[in-house]
Structure 1
């Protein structure tokens, strides 16, 4: 089926009585096929009244010399009535002074008398093409404004759920930090107080951007906190969260996650991974151990999946770094990724002094590596250090 051409309404402003029938006769083909619709006014005053009464007018074709209000004054007044209207001036041949004044007052183009209707058709089409492109640009701008507002809301939602106070006692210290990307992502971390002085540690990365990702992030965090209180270990907690997230997940969103439980009485860290990068342990001498993965899937992908868990006994002075892929996949100007090896090397000669030092150094490492290259994923880490 052939799409009907878009009809454009053109206001012709001229005090010569012969112009209206001549215009209708010479443009009859385009009027009949629905390309143009012409309306007429005989001076600037009538033209302004027509513009105020009809928001569907796309462009103005105006003479300069007219009674009551001339075309140059009309040009000054059009933006007050309809700022997106474009005007083409009809001027006497060789009247460059008025043409220059008209162009300085906002005329998009001009044609000269006697009117060459082929040239007029070309000028009208070019003006209408400009108007279409201008409206598309305005629409794109408005969409960007809406998107930016959405991203601002998502950023506030994301920041509002992040812990900002961390345990500092004789047994262990915690620290978490997130550096948002230019486009708001779905990273989050959480610290959950559990029975018997144990502490739950979670770090996650939600698929998508903006408000949908922020809402899914908040749901994931809330579900995890509830599951952590009810279940016996990280594997069981992730299994429960995954099953709930798979219900009514029409948007097919998912979240990668590490959830770990630290018992300061034994120094044992028990963890399960949901398709997330495994924790990195920096030892007191600067060597490091990447903990083995438990082959978990991202949460929200497959219902009924049983998440396994591993345990690792920390030694005094060990620092556990949980991180999102915004750290290891940070990009520099050469389009290289930072990678796990550089993260480990950063602590080899100078082990972290405490949890906060380790967290800040991870962010600093990413920033130094990336330089001025914009990053499109959040940079997030959560750090646990065993003291005794």
Structure 2
């Protein structure tokens, strides 16, 4: 007796027992039979075909319509099986991609991690929140005895390519000669690195500033980056931080313009990415005045508490759904 005959005989026995008893024991016997069939790689269509044959033997007077319905069921199960396997394959690929993205996000967080400096001369607060798993924004502090340098960058692009771009910029900054300290020179060097190594479809905006403790000046330059704010404590007024310069990675030989601000006690320097100014509500992009109003609301707090409260309020305005990466840094002279 070949295996198909053994299979048909076993199925007949299980089915007959269930039809006679309709018991849990009979159902359990059917489950055991199913497991054996799976081990022998018997397809669902073959089981249905055997079921149909057994019914014919057990009930010779069974109507033709019922038997024909099994032909339909066999065809249906074949198509269903193909669709199910395709669905499972897509789910597996989706899970694999998700795992890779989570790993990339973890590696990005490790490589780009930077601590917020604690100094007597200036209170510093910083927050950066990714809209998705991978953050397209990047910020970094470099501290020495005389000054603190701060960089904010935003990749025009998302996902893993954006994370790789940020890693490139981070190592470009780490590789700069110690003699290069002026913001415009820093951007010029990073632009050459980006132009040589980035794909033509990838660009980076960047803001780079240096706070000098000795004379309390803030010198800065920008490469196509979103304008921040400067708060004058004496007049209790805001002005935009003037910035001019092309994004990194477009042309090799670009000279960046440098600016300087004298920072008085109580003054604040507000640096951000376009994910802050381009936050959207039902009525469109928020006005820049909303950001300055929030700064005034929380300026009695520490700089870190300020940025965290401003983020929560803007997140609430967007119904807790960030549409772009959000980075906000505040320097407050003490």
Give the alignment of 1:29-68 within 5 angstroms: 41-44=4-7, 64-65=11-12
Q: 1:280 aligns with which of 215, 218, 229?
A: 229
Kept in 2: contact 1:92–1:113 (CA 8 A): no
Q: Are the counterparts in 2 of residues 185 and 377 from structure 1 also a CA contact under 8 Å?
A: no
Q: So what's the TM-score if we normalise by structure 1?
A: 0.69
Alignment partners' CA distance in 1, 2:191 and 2:35: 64
From 146, 158, 161, give the equivalent of 1:212: 161
Q: Write the deviation string for residues 257-316 of structure 1: whole angstroms up to 9, x where unpaired.
A: 11111112222211111121122123336532111121x222123222222222222221
Aligned with 2:239 (options 289, 312, 316): 289
Contact map agreement 1:190 1:201 (CA 8 A) in 2: yes
Cα displacement (A) at 1:213 = 2.3
Give the match for residue 107 of structure 2.
Answer: 157
In 2, distance between residues paired with 1:139 and 1:307? 50
Show the counterpart of 1:102: none
User: Size of the alignment, in residue pairs?
Assistant: 311
Aligned to 2:97: 147
Taking the aligned partners of 2:208 and 2:230, their CA distance within structure 1 comes to 15
Closer/same/farther in 2, CA of residues 363 and 249 from structure 1, 3 Å limit? same
Q: Secondary structure at the match of 1:320?
A: strand
The alpha-carbon distance between structure 1 residues 152 and 92, as it changes in their structure 2 partners (threshold 3 A), is closer
Distance 1:375 1:44, change over 3 A: farther
**Per the alignment, do residues 129 and 193 of structure 1 end up closer, same or farther by CA in structure 2, a change over 3 Å counting?**
same
Counterpart CA distance in 1 for 2:214 and 2:240 is: 23
Verify: 1:299 aligned to 2:248, yes or no: yes
Asked if the contact 2:184/2:258 (under 8 Å) is kept, the reply is yes
Residue in structure 2 matched with residue 36 of structure 1 by the alignment: none
Higher relative contact order (CA 8 A, sep 6+): 2
Q: Do structure 1's residue 127 and structure 2's residue 95 form an aligned pair?
A: no
Structure 1 residues 379 and 349: CA distance shift in structure 2, 3 A: closer
CA distance in 2, matches of 1:82, 1:229: 68
TM-score when normalising by structure 2: 0.79
Cα RMSD (Å): 3.6
1:167 aligns with 2:118: yes
Q: Indicate the residue corresponding to 2:218 in structure 1.
A: 269
1:1-388 to structure 2, matched below 5 A, reads 41-44=4-7, 64-65=11-12, 72=30, 74-79=33-38, 86-87=44-45, 89-90=48-49, 91=51, 116=68, 120=71, 122-160=72-110, 161-169=112-120, 171-194=121-144, 197-227=146-176, 229-250=178-199, 252-284=201-233, 286-294=236-244, 296-332=245-281, 334=282, 336-372=284-320, 374-387=321-334
Given the superposition, is the C-alpha separation of residues 221 and 125 from structure 1 closer, same or farther in structure 2, using an over 3 Å criterion?
same
Relative to structure 1, is the Cα distance of residues 132 and 114 closer, same or farther in structure 2, using a 3 angstrom cutoff?
Answer: closer
Aligned mates of 1:114, 1:364 — CA distance in 2: 64
Deviations 1:107-135 (A, max 9, x none): xxxx979854x973x54443233223222
Structure 1 residues 45 and 377: alpha-carbon distance in aligned structure 2, compared to 1, 3 A threshold: farther
How far does the alpha carbon of each residue in 1:160-182 deviate from its partner, in whole angstroms, 9 at most, with x for none?
2222342221x212222222323
Question: What displacement does 1:93 show?
Answer: 9.4
Asked whether the equivalents of residues 298 and 309 of structure 2 are also in contact (C-alpha less than 8 Å), the reply is no
Determine the C-alpha separation between the residues in 1 that align with 2:8 and 2:172.
66
Compare the two structures and name the one with the higher helix fraction: 2
Structure 1 alignment gaps of length 5 or more: 1-14, 18-39, 47-62, 99-110
Unaligned runs of 5+ in 2: 18-28
CA distance in 2, matches of 1:335, 1:202: 32
| Partners of 1:203 and 1:324 within 8 A in 2 | yes
Residues 312 and 275 of structure 1: CA distance in aligned 2, closer, same or farther (over 3 Å): same
> Is the CA contact (8 Å cut-off) linking 1:330 and 1:370 kept in structure 2?
yes
